[in-house]
Every structure is written in structure tokens, then in C-alpha cells.
Structure 1
């Protein structure tokens, strides 16, 4: 029996060895170097957020002690302990009536100086001059109209005086102007009053005759050129009315019951004299009003004439500089009084709750003495420390997501960076910077002292090319990625320089140049 005869034929192994070797060679050739062990990732369009994660502690956002900046007497207190107050709310004030009055005066003066300066700076235009000339013409015509009213007003006053002296008091006196005397028609208990009344009666009669003659002359004289005559007529009419009023008052003094007058006559005389006095007083008011109108209109004309002269003359550089200096001085006065006024008022700088209120109305308070304290309740803040490697990324206004140990990772609160201290604090040999975050919304679950876990969003990018951060390699001062390359029989990839941007919190990094969407990059290689 022949056993294993094929083993005794050495030529049998030669073809077998060639076949096995061919298979091995073909594997390496056609596998493209797959013997190089690496994994890849695809560059994709992504939205990235860069974050700095730190821990901190919740505390009241602000604890404030407030004081007046000026000494004085407390005039008002608007809050009590426990009250909630809001930013800008007035809490207390000192008596500042004098400062307020000075401020109002300063503001009015500033407006006047600004108007004057703008007028000078703008200069005169033909239209402005024409308007001012028209304004002057109207003012002069108004004055003429006032003068035209003088004869009628004086004549009306004469009529009322004549009625008072010769009609309303008829029957009270006997006598005539030609005889040179007048006497009461009844006995008077007061002889001095009787004598005064009779003398004034004679004087009033004489005045009427003189006045009547003057009125006749006044009606003959016409404008222009008679302004002085009209003004003199008004003043003379005022004097005549004054004498008439005195005559009526003395005559009324003789109306005493039981002194020679019957009750019927007494009532009639009183009524007539009272009516006459009312008419005379009304006439005096009309005379005075017209005189005042004339004086005021003259001042108006003078003012307009000066303004017109200024427009026609124009403004020199010196005048402009002088007026500008006046404006600056007026502005400085306003600011000064505003600053003084602010020193007498305590405003709330935050939304808070009043924890102390020691001011009392009427009490004299010295400047700088704390009278009101506040503690913030509407917003709490988080205090944390940022390492120097990250502080350059932090900016005021950066948003943050916050979780509190008390509520776990599922409850997220929103916050924002409000302040970063410029000076460093060294903690265990590492420089850190105290940073403050404000909660965006009030939430009753937040308590002072709670531990906060903070993810601060320092940058964000949308629709950018991103790859895993571990695919980026620093080499010789530049950053590269490795792209699979079948032609490289040694490593199976080639190196490409890239530039990076934001590092996302999901482990990806932005590629600004060097790659396009869809490119494969090596994230791990055994080589």
C-alpha cells in the first residue's frame, strides 16, 4: 500500500507557493495600502458655537448704600423698608426750591442766548429784512390806531364825568358856577365833609368847562404830529376823573340818616352817586389801559427798529464770538444747576428692595451720610473667575447658559456677561479674572449662594465648513490636515495646510481655508 505518495513529489509545492504569493501581493497592490490603518471624517457645513465653561456662585447683583451729595433739609421721602423700587425711581429729596428756580431761569436764559447767536450767525436775508420791515410797519400802524382811539375814550370819560357832576348829583347842591359857590340842600352832621364836598363840587364844575374846551381842540388836531397832544389829553383826563371821583366820595359822606335827609331822598342820592362812581372808575380803567397800550407799543416799535438795524448792519466776527461765549456761559450755568439739583435727590440705581430708610422729613442731613440701603431682587448675578487663557474671548454682552446644582442639568437659566475686572486674581499660581454675569430673567427659584455651572458663548458661526478638531495637526508653526491619497503608497494620505476659526463645543472646528465641503480628512492613523 502506497502512503502519501504526493508528498514525495517536490515539484508539487512549487506551483502552490507561487499561487499563495500571488494572492498576497495582489492584496497589497489592489488594497491601495489599506494596510495603513486610519479612519476618516467628512468636512460638512455646520453651525458652531464656541464656549468657555466655568463654575461660579450666585449673589445679589448689587448691594448699595445711598447718601445725599449735598447737606440740607429733607423735604420728601417716597419709600419705606421693604418697598420694591426700580431703576431711576426717586427715593428721597432735599428742599431744592431755590435750585429749581435758578435752573429754570438758567434754561430760559440759555434759550434766549442760543436764539440770539443763531440769528447773528445766520445773518440777514432779504426775506428776513422784508419781514422785519413789515413787522415794523404793522407795529407803527397799531400805535396810530391807539392814538386814534384817544379822542373817543376821552370824550366818553367826559360824558361820564358830566353825568356824575351835573345829573346824578342834581338836587344835592344849590348854587351855580357863575355865583362862585355851591351848597348842600340839606343839613350835614359832619361840617368838614360838607365843606369838602361843596369845594369839590365847584372845582369839578370848573374842570368840566376846561375839559370840554380841550376836547373840542383835540378833535380838530389830527395825526400825524399830534402824539404829544393825545398823550397829554389822556393824562389830563385822568386828573379830571380823579377829582370827580373824590367829589363823589365826599358827597357820599354826607349821606347820614337823621341829619336832615329823608329816607327816600337818602336812598335815591346813594343809588345815583354809587352809579356815578362805578362809571368814573370804569373810565379811569379805560384811560389807564389806553396809556399802557401806547407805552407798550412804543417799546415794541423801538425793539423792532433795533432788530432791523442789526439785520441791516450784519454781524462781525467779534460779535459772533461774544455771543457764542454767552451761549457757552449759559450752558455751563444750566449744567451747574442741574448738577446741584441732582445732589439733592436720591435715585435708585437698580431694581431692588429697600432694606434701610433712615431719612425723616424736616431733618437736616449731612452730605455723604448713608440714609437708604438697597438689595437687588429683580436680578441676581453670578460671580466667577476666568483663566487668562480664555479671558481674551470674554466680552461684555456674551450670552451664557447656566445650570444650578440645586436643580440639575435639565433646568437651564439664561445669563449675560455684565462686567470683567481688569486686574487679575492669582489662584493657586494661576492668573484669573473676576467676571460677573447677570441673569436675564427674574426667577424665584434662584437663590443667593447657589453654585452655578456656566457655559459662556464667546463666538458663533453659521453655515461654515467644519471637521473634528482632532483632525487638525500643528506642524512647523502651521496647521494641517491629512487627506487620503491612494497614490501615496507609504502612508496612504497627503498633508494640506488649513486655517481654522471657531472651536465648537461639540468637538468640531471651523475651517476657513484649505478644505471644501465633502472632503475626507484623516482623524486617526496608525502611522
Structure 2
């Protein structure tokens, strides 16, 4: 334990005991009955060490257990947020481009003539697009209203009032549905009673008709016509019993499960009543022209009585059918009105998904509007114009040719992941490997190919950039360019570090710091664009001056 070449320290400098001396001392101890204390001393030492160890552990546990988490926070403030897409491209000789509309329509305006110089972003021509402009305005208003409702929920008084309205709307819809069910059940129950009475009347009237036929008409010309009516009645009655066998059963309770059968049986029963009434109407007409066709006055009276009775049942069945139809229409209207009120109440409680949908709708409307415009992707000169105002064109028709004023342009392939963020006219800054990172050039997106280009197995889209302003005459083709495209810029927006935002079950959450000794508050937020510096836009859920937690050191 003392290392090679080192001696153990000397503990005793006096005479040393020999082996014999040690044995003698041992014998002396035995004779004097002296008990060695070595073992007791070892036990004592063990307990002392153990106790000290336990004490250290307990103290350490208490110190650690009392330690509170340390929060890293940042003050919420407004800032400028830039979203960028970075790509690498090559310098290419500049060329002219043919510009077209992205949709068909009638040309409303051509704002330049051949030889005119235009700046990047200038609207060269436009289609009739009043409806598209209105769609953009409407979509923006919807988004603003949704965000306003979302932000208002942070006010407890507003939130409480809105929740009362939501509860009332839900209760109203439930009541309307229950009333609709009850009213419709009442109509079907009444129809069932009318059907039972009509079936009974058909049986009675059919028996009278058969008696009249056999007694007074058999073998005569009228007999054939009456038999035809009887055949029609029998067919319709059989149809009723086929689709609704419960019509002849006792103790039937009407429920929504029987509505479909009743709907099928009612028209068949209506037709049966009409055929039977037609039979008695025929007899009444024949009796007027042939007074002695039915010799018995009693039988003639029976014909008139049954004609009246079956007409009454026919009217009742027709009314029952119409009442069911009217009740269904009324129910649908009332439920639709209640649903609309509930939808309005729910709209006061927008979610993150609702805001995203409204944003998507606005972007879609703006995209459709842009398709109706021909926008100069770079500064240049109008080379030719191939159309006239008022002309109807398709997306394949070349509207104007634009010749770049620059000697060179930049060509880059942007991946499918990023191409959706890039638009024609977006500004960009770039550096050239040949010039170093200190020399920065300005450029703008000119055109984006609609067809994909596969580069090393990756789907990309060729994008052309044009230099803005004067460029160094020493720039040469095929120089490598490092391009940062500004795809979005928002000023005076609330922005916080991306690491402060937590994703949970599809929602975005931040933790609000309220001071020492107070638990952090978790709050839902709506995020917007992500900036190049690691910050993200907060559309709603945070206010300027609050402090959010970016990291917890536990």
C-alpha cells in the first residue's frame, strides 16, 4: 500500500519484541487473567463508522430533497419574425421568360405595353376576379373573428357568459329534438288509428259491394266493371297486410321502428280506398241513369251510405299522410335552426384547429387570387404582348414575354418539403463561395417549375432567382450560390423560443412563470410561422410582458 521503493512509517522507535518476547507476554496475560480489548475495539469502531455514514446519507437526502427546480425564463415581447428557406444553387446566364395566368378567364386589364420597364412584383395583367377578391376579404374576416373569439376566452367574465349561451343552445337542441320525436310519434299514432278504421271500413264496404253485385248485377254488363274494382281493392289490401302485418294485430304500440312500414302501407291503403270509392261512385252514376238496376230501395241506400263512409276514410288517410310529411318538414326546420344556434355558440369557443383551418382557407383564397394575376417575377422589359383586354384565355396562353435586365440569374432545386413555402416574388439574399460570406447579394424568386426534377433520388422543383441591383462584373457562370429565401416576414408579433413550446395531443402548450414559490401555469397557445432564429410566432394565448419558461433544471 505504500508503493514500490517506499517504506512504511515507523510507529515505535524503542526496542522491538522478539518472537519469544511476544510469546512470553501472551503467557503473562493468561496468568494475570487480563482480557484482550482488541475485538471490543473493532466493534466499537464499526458502529462509529456506520453511524457516521448514516448521518451523511440523511443530511444529503434532506439537502437534496429540499432543493427546488431552477427555471430558465424569457420575457414575452413583440419582435420581427423572418421565415427562411436555405438552398444551394448555381449562377446561370440570364434569359427571358413567358408569363401566363394560372387559370382561365377574361382579361380585365393589361397594365403595360411593349418596351415598358417593370419592377419585380409589378402586376402586368389581371383577369376579372371580383369574386376572388371577395373570397379573400371574407376569409380574412373569418380568421380575424376566430382569433378574436379565441383571445376573448382568457377573460373569465366573457368565458362564463359564452358558456351559459353554449349550455342553453345545447339544452334547446335537446328539447327541440325531443319535441320533434313526440310530435312525429303522435302523427304516426293517429295515422295508425285511421288505418285500422279504414281497413275495417274496407271489409264492411267490400262485403256490401259483393252483396250488391251478386244480388243485382251478376250476369249483366255492370258486373264486369265492379269485379275489376273489387280486384284492385283486394290487391291493395293484400299489399297493406304484406308490408305492415301489424295492421290486424291487437295491442300494437307505435314506435319509430314501425315508421318505415307505415310509410309503405299508407299509400297502398290510400289506393285501396280510392278503388273502393270508385266502385261505389260507378254504381251511383249507373243508378241515376238506370233507376231499376238495383230494385231494392234499401240496397240503393246502402250503396250511398258506403260511398260516403269510404270517402270519409279516404280523406282521413290522405290527411294522415300529409300531416306526417308536414311534421317531418317542420321537425327538420326546427332542428336545423337549433343546430345553427348551437354552431354559433360553439364558434365562440374556437380551438387551435379552428384557427389553422381559417388560416388555410385564407391562404387558399389568396392563392386562387394570385392565379388570376400575371406578376413580374423580376425587373425587366416587356418584350411582347400576345393578348388584348376582354379576351378569354386559358392557362396555356402566353400573356407577355419579360426580358431580364440582368446578365445572370441563379438556378436552384428546392425540395418538395420546402417548395410549398416559396412563392414567385419572394426576396432572397445570397453569398457566393468565390466571394466569401462577407459579400452579400440581393435576389428575388423569378419562376418555379411546376414539373418536378429528381436529384439524387429526391423530388425537387427548379427555381430561378434574379439579381436585384447592380452586380459585380466579375461574376461568372457556374459559381456556387448559398441562398436564403425570405418566405414570410411578420412585424410586431409575439415571438418566443421554439423550445418554450410543448406539443401535447396535437395541441401547443407553454408554461407561464409567476414567481418563486408558485407553480407554473400551463396554457394553450396558437402558433404561426417559425423564424430562422429558432423563434416561433404566437398568434393567441400569450400577452406581452408575461414570462414563459424555456427550460426547467430539476
With normalisation by structure 1, the TM-score equals 0.35
* Largest Rg, 1 or 2: 1
With normalisation by structure 2, the TM-score equals 0.34
